[in-house]
Amino acid sequence: MPPTPVKLDALSNHHLFKRIQRRLILLPSHAHKNFGFDSKTTALLQLPSGAISIISILIATYLAGRFDQRGLNVTALLLLGILGGALMAFLPAHSKTGKLIGNYLTNCIGASLPRLYSWVAANFAGHTKKVTMNAILLMSFSAGNIIGPLTFRQRMRRTFTPAKINIIATCAFAGVMAVVLRRYYNWENRKKDRLVGDIRREEDTEFADLTDRENKEFRYRS
């Protein structure tokens, strides 16, 4: 059974996340120079970015497992990305520290990617359907890596403000879609719960290769 339109929004989210990730790969060296640092200082200031990415992934993974709330986890990480993008885009040029903090905050966005993979793995059942969704995610990754660098145009190399605003916009849109998807999953679970009394329980459904919509005992993770 093909994915529903709401679930396809999750794929759009992933595509946006991959655009953002690619932008952020390119952003630090350009951004630090735009903040007024020389080349040597720029290289040194990029070192904490990797540490922040690792720490945010570990914390997000722990919280997602502890509270089983992938949607809220993704949304919180995107909010940090929006804050970081706003600091870089809108702070005055002399606020180097604030812009640098904003740049570091955007590294939290990457931590949402493992959450998206686990969200898809938890909410799509059936061999063919799961393989198809993984293929779509991979294609989204590739498309994002192609499109992302195109937002950093040479003519705006002094500030890259439009590219930073794009980060804010895509994070905001993806965050809204994550909230919508979470509400959709909760609605589907409530609908299945109401029907549970009218459904005869079948044995060994976990081995029947049913999709998440065909298996009436399947519950989505929000």
Residue labelled with tokens 């350009």: 30
Cβ 1 vs Cβ 214: under 8 Å: yes
Please report the domains of the chain, with CATH numbers, ordered by start residue.
Answer: 5-149+157-196 (1.20.1250.20)
pLDDT band at 24 (very low <50, low <70, confident <90, very high): very low
Tell me what percent of the residues of the chain surpass a pLDDT of 90: 13
Residue 141 has pLDDT above 80, yes or no: no
pLDDT band at 183 (very low <50, low <70, confident <90, very high): very high
Measured N-to-C along each axis, helices 112-123 and 5-34 cross at an angle, to the nearest 10 degrees, of 170
Query: CA-CA distance, 47 to 26, in Å (whole number)?
Result: 14
**Rounded to 5, what percent of the chain is helix, strand, coil?**
80, 0, 20
The predicted structure's pLDDT at residue 184: 92
CA-nearest of 120, 198, 166 to 22 is 166
The predicted structure's pLDDT at residue 18: 47
The predicted-structure confidence for 152-173, as pLDDT tens digits, reads as follows 777 776 777 888 888 899 889 8
Specify the DSSP class assigned to residue 4. Answer: P
Pick 18 or 80 by higher pLDDT.
80
The predicted-structure confidence for 36-93, as pLDDT tens digits, reads as follows 556 666 667 777 888 898 999 999 989 988 888 888 999 999 999 999 999 988 988 8
The predicted structure's pLDDT at residue 200: 60
DSSP secondary structure letters along 14-67: HHHHHHHHHHHHHHHHHHHHHTT--HHHHHHHTHHHHHHHHHHHHHHHHHHHHH
What's the pTM value of the predicted model, to 2 decimals? 0.77
Residue 5 has pLDDT above 50, yes or no: no
Query: What's the farthest any 2 CA atoms get from each other in the chain?
Result: 70
The predicted structure's pLDDT at residue 114: 83
The predicted structure's pLDDT at residue 9: 46
Residue 149 has pLDDT above 80, yes or no: no
The predicted structure's pLDDT at residue 207: 63
Q: What is the mean pLDDT of residues 118-141?
A: 84
Residue labelled with tokens 């979470």: 182
How high is the mean pLDDT of the chain?
77
Query: CA-CA distance, 78 to 172, in Å (whole number)?
Result: 7
